[in-house]
Amino acid sequence: MRRDIFQAIADPSRRAIIALIALQAMTPNALAAHFDTTRQAVSKHLRILTECELIKPEQRGREIYYQLEINKMKEIDKWLEQFRKIWEKRFDQLDTLLTTLKKPKK
């Protein structure tokens, strides 16, 4: 089953994994140390994130390090940009309204 990147980031644990990997490439054991869950649960999250191409594994000797796939993260950012523009416009409208309401009446 092919997962969608938005399904992948819907889970708080996977978002936390992404945040950790964004700082530096990490092994599954190093990631598991940050969670109050089993190593197998973390591995499942890593598999889902890898399937969605949000992270990629890199073999370094006997260890596998996971690192962030920046281009996939840019896809998410691009999708969110449309909403960011809407929110900014609405905040500007609200700011204008509040400024108008605060002006003393003559």
Instruction: Report pLDDT digits (tens) over 55-80.
Output: 999 999 999 999 999 988 888 889 89
Q: What is the CATH number of the domain that holds 22?
A: 1.10.10.10
Q: What share of the chain is helix, strand, coil (3-state, %, to 5)?
A: 65, 10, 25
pLDDT (tens digit, 9 = 90+) per residue, 9-53?
999 999 999 999 999 999 999 999 999 999 999 999 999 999 999
Which residues are registered as beta bridge partners of 48?
Answer: none
pTM: 0.76
Averaged confidence pLDDT in the chain: 91
Count of domains forming the chain: 1
Domain coverage including residue 19: 5-102
Q: Which of 66, 42, 72, 36 is nearest to 54 (CA)?
A: 72
